[in-house]
Structure formats: C-alpha cells, structure tokens
A and B are shown apart, each in its own frame.
Chain A
Amino acid sequence: MPLDPVEVAHVALLARLGLDGEERRHLGADLDRILDHVSALQRADISDVPETAQVGTLVNVWREDVPAGSLSQEQALANAPDTDGEYFKVGAIQE
C-alpha cells in the first residue's frame, strides 16, 4: 500500500525534516520501494521468539557514583551556533 502524501508530510514533521514538495514526492516513492522490500519480514515465523532488545549477552552495568571532571561551560558552548556567553540561545519557543 503506497504512502499517501499526507502521511509522508506527517512523518517528515515527526522527523523534523522541512522537505519541499519535490523532495516529499521523491522520498515518498523511495520509502514505498523500501517498505515493499522489507515486507518480507511479515512472512518470518517469529511465533517462538521472545521480545528482543539485544542479541548479545550484555547485562546492565552499574558503577559507583564517583565525582569526576566534566566539560567546562566554555567547552560546552564552544560549538554552539549562538550563545549569550553563558547559555545556548534559540528563537522563541512559544508561537
């Protein structure tokens, strides 16, 4: 079932991708093609398979809470597109 343009626009907004109409058409067609390919998954027999979060044998790791050095404010702000010297600066959040 092909993705309709409204659905593509919805996913683009969820993904915070400001696509133009042309890009939405292209990506929508690509997604159709890929989703068609991955539909093979629907045929897999997974009846005896437990919910999977990982396939290794990792277990949760804990450590003592030891104070250690971290980035200075200056380092943390060094790559910011805009700051007021102490904080990250962004445009209005409420519209």
Chain B
Amino acid sequence: MSSAGLTAAAMAAALRRGEVTPQELLADARAQVSRLDSSLNAFLALTDDLADRQAERATEMLRDDRLGAGPLCGIPVALKDVLCVEGYPTTAGSRILENFRPPYTATAVQRLLDGGAVPVGKTNCDEFAMGSSTENSAYGPVGNPWDVERVPGGSSGGSAAAVGAGMVPISYGTDTGGSIRQPASLCGVVGFKPTYGRVSRYGLIAFASSLDQVGPFAHTVEDAAVAYAAVAGNDPRDSTSVIDAVEDPLSALRDGVRGMRLGVPREYMGDGLEAGVRERVTEAIRVLEELGATVEEVSLPSTELGLSTYYIIAPAECSSNLARYDGVRFGMRVERPSLTETYLRTRDQGFGNEVKRRVMLGTYALSSGYYDAYYRRAQKVRTVIAREFDTVFETVDALVCPTSPKVAFTTGAIQDPVEMYLNDALTIPVNLAGLPGISLPCGFSDELPVGLQVIAPRLQDARVFRVAAAYEAATEWHRHRAPLVAA
C-alpha cells in the first residue's frame, strides 16, 4: 500500500519500527508525483540524485543513533523553488533564472539535509514569490488538489499542492504577505509562518527582506511544529536572524486552551468575507470556547491600512532586491551593443508582468519627490499596525480569525491586480508586525477547504502551535484528504 497522504509522524514511526525504508517512502512520493503532476504542475524540477543520496544517508542514520538523525530523517520533503540547493536548478518561478544553479545551499535546506530529510524536488511558485494564486509562475499555473481547475493560492502554491495531493508529507515555502498561510488555507493543509527572523534567510532568493520568512506545510499541526523546529534557530549568516533560543514548539502541544484568552479582531470578520468562510471560522471559534478558552472581540483599527502599507514597502524592497538581475554575473542576458540596452532588454524579457508591476511601483515609491509621501509614511504606518497588535496582546494571549477571505477561486478568474491583492488582506498585517501565524483546516465551503488563522505575539511561536493543536485534537478536518490522493 502506498504511503501517500500519511503524516510525517506516521512515516517516522514506521521507519523506526523498520516497517518501511526511506527508499520505499521516496518511491511512493515519486509515484504520486508522476501520477498527478501532469495535472497539478506542483514541481518545477525533481532532485533525483540528491534524493537517492539522502535516502541512503537516512538509512545509515536510522541504523546508528550517533549519526545525528533529525525528526525528519528519511521523510520525503519538497522545497519551494526560491530556496537555493547547490548545483540544482533554482528558478524562483522566473525566466530570468531559468538556467541558474546556485553555488551554495540555503541554511534551512542544509539543516534538513544534515538531519537526513529526503528532498524530492523544487516546487512551483509565483515569480519571485509575488502573487496569491501561483498564476504568476513563468512555468505555468498550479492546480488545487481539491479541484484542479482552481488555484492553490500563492505564492507557495506548489508546496501547498504537493502536501495537499499526498506527494510529500512536508514541504517548505516562504511567507512575505501570506504566501504560506493563504495557500495552506486554499489547499486544506496546515501552513506556518514563524516569527520574523526565526528561520534563516541565507540562501533564500530575496523578495522583500524585512518581511520574508521560511516555513513549513504539513497535514497536521504536530508535523508542522516538527518541520519548523528542524529548520529554526540562529544563523550567523543572516544578520536579521533572531538570537534568542527557539522554544520547543512541541513542548506546549498538548496543553490545551483552557484558561487562555483568545481575541477575535472585529476588522477580520468584516464584509469582505465569503459567507461560507465566516460560518466555518465562527464554528471553529466556538469549538475553542467549548475547550475552555475565553473568547472576546478585539479591535485592530488600522487593519484596513495593512494592504496599502504592504504594497509600498514590499515593492520598494523588491525593486531594490531585484536590481541584481542585470544579466552580468548570473541569470539570463539579452545581448545588446551597450550595457544599458542590455539591462533594459534582459529585464524586459526575463521578468513577467507582476514582477514588472511591482518593480515599477517600488521604484516610483522610492524615487525623488515621492519617497516621503509613500515609503517613509508607509514605514511609520507599519509601526502603527505593530503597536495595535502589541496593545491587543496586553489583554489576549492569541488571535483567531480567517486566513483568507475566500476559498480557492477558478484559475484566470481574477485579472485586476488590486482585487488579487485583497486575498492577502488578513495575512499581511502579521508580516508587517513580524508575528508568528498559522493556518489550519477548519472545514469546507462548497466542498473547498477553509482555513483558521491563529496569531500570537512575537517569539511566541509555541503558543500558535498550542492553540492550533487544541483545535485540531477536537476536530477531524485534518484527516480529510483530497479525493485524488487515493484515486
């Protein structure tokens, strides 16, 4: 029987009991990819020889305790194609990096390799992680495992779909404005964005450096906690890496929510929500109340400004970060007689529409005469938003709310950029304030998954897992798999 759709915990237990080998788990993962990926397009590249080597290494590690096996030893994983793996194609979903092979490996990936995890391949994503549907990939859109005609969310759509389709039990993505939590919500899986700085950004292709954070996708909260712990912790190679020791995210997993104070931000339950999302999230909040948490309404008055703040700060940082793609040292070059013409043609042909839109917007917001009105002001509003979170966390321990205002929409249905940006309205403020947040399945609307978001104060990542685990233990949603997993 195939292991497709099993949790990492179940696979790890079977490995330890000797009932299955890392090679067999890898073969199952490959079979699932080859059966389903022609319709999903979740993977951009398979890292076959690396996976084989790691499976062999994991086999040794499982035999000998002294070899440093991590909790994901022998477990197949997938990596969003913005994470560098030395010698393997890393495109960030862009034409401009079509033939790029990084000369070094991201710290998060290195930690996985050192612990014996088995990377199956690199997953599809919006170009340079800019998008909410994975339709901005230069290599074609990704299907949602619950309905392949619909988007998986984005930008980490390939990573979310790979777990949702039972190809791998764990994958990694990045979350700059919701790019882990929103696709997790749309694909019916768990997605966790750590506190800013908890996971090293070294070797992560930069989009907006003050917001980018690496995190896991999984079927369960416990798997996500294990997958987070496997990559978290200070890294001297990332100057924004948090120095404080990582609290064990498994330590509070069974503590429950009795006596906890949970806040529901009024502004997150507003008119923009689909009826089905509102119903499922309201029911989920009631479950938490029945489990002994006290629930109260709170207010984050500047929530509405989050999107505007983000759409100045993120494009400003991206316009600066993406200046490196100039066709000189790496990536695509469109040769012209003069260097300036070479830059202009290379970037015109190498970048897709959304990337150009954001580079233009960011360049404008940073340009002379507009800097004060846009960038400088947006930075200050960012402080206002962060302070409002600080204030509500004086009276509540965590916040619970929807992840995405809507369920998965049909591919191609949203053409207007601002309408697309609104998909991240409930996740963006968390990035602006640098907080940890999770999305976990809380039911269905029209047979499509709905996600519950839990948000905690900075560095309280373990508390996010505690609340999420309590909800999960009281419900059955995490056991649901998309029909195509077993078909």
Contacts and interface: CB of A to CB of B under 8 A. Distances in A.
Contacts of B305: 40-41, 44
A41 B378 contact: yes
- How would you classify the secondary structure of chain A's contact residues: helix, strand, loop or mixed? loop
A55 B383 contact: yes
A6 interface: no
B307 interface: yes
A6 to B, nearest CB: 13
Contacts of A52: 379-380, 382-383
A40 B103 contact: no
A55 B339 contact: no
A30 B357 contact: yes
A18 B308 contact: no
B330 A34 contact: no
A81 B364 contact: no
B228 interface: no
A31 B383 contact: no
B7 interface: no
A40 B373 CA distance: 11
A42 B373 contact: yes
Contacts of A54: 210
A92 B471 CA distance: 63
Interface in B286-332: 302, 304-305, 307-309, 311-312, 319, 323, 326-332
A90 to B, nearest CB: 5
Interface residues of B, number: 73
Contacts of A11: 360, 363-364, 367
A61 B236 CA distance: 9
A77 B381 CA distance: 43
Given A15-B319, A18-B345, A55-B383, A34 B418 contact: yes
Given A11-B364, A30-B357, A91-B339, A81 B308 contact: no
Contacts of A40: 304-305, 308
Interface in A16-59: 16-20, 23, 27, 30-31, 33-35, 37-42, 44-46, 49-58
Contacts of B13: none
A34 B356 CA distance: 14
Contacts of A57: 458
B258 interface: no
A16 B133 CA distance: 27
B311 A38 contact: yes
Contacts of B111: none
Interface residues of A, number: 55
B193 to A, nearest CB: 14
Interface string A1-18: 001000010011111111
Contacts of A12: 360
A29 B341 CA distance: 25
B479 interface: no
A91 B338 contact: yes
Nearest to B244: A57
A8 B378 CA distance: 22
B103 A41 contact: no
Given A31-B364, A49-B384, A91 B326 contact: no
A90 B333 CA distance: 10
B138 interface: no
Given A11-B363, A18-B344, A79-B101, 10 more contacts: A11-B360, A14-B367, A16-B343, A20-B348, A40-B304, A51-B380, A55-B434, A60-B239, A79-B99, A88-B329
Interface of A: 3, 8, 11-20, 23, 27, 30-31, 33-35, 37-42, 44-46, 49-58, 60-61, 63, 71, 75-76, 78-82, 88, 90-93, 95
14 contacts: A15-B360, A15-B363, A37-B421, A40-B305, A46-B380, A52-B380, A52-B383, A58-B197, A58-B242, A76-B103, A91-B335, A91-B336, A91-B341, A92-B337
Report, nearest first, the 8 A-B pairs whose CB atoms are least far apart: A18-B344, A79-B330, A81-B333, A38-B308, A52-B379, A18-B348, A15-B363, A46-B380
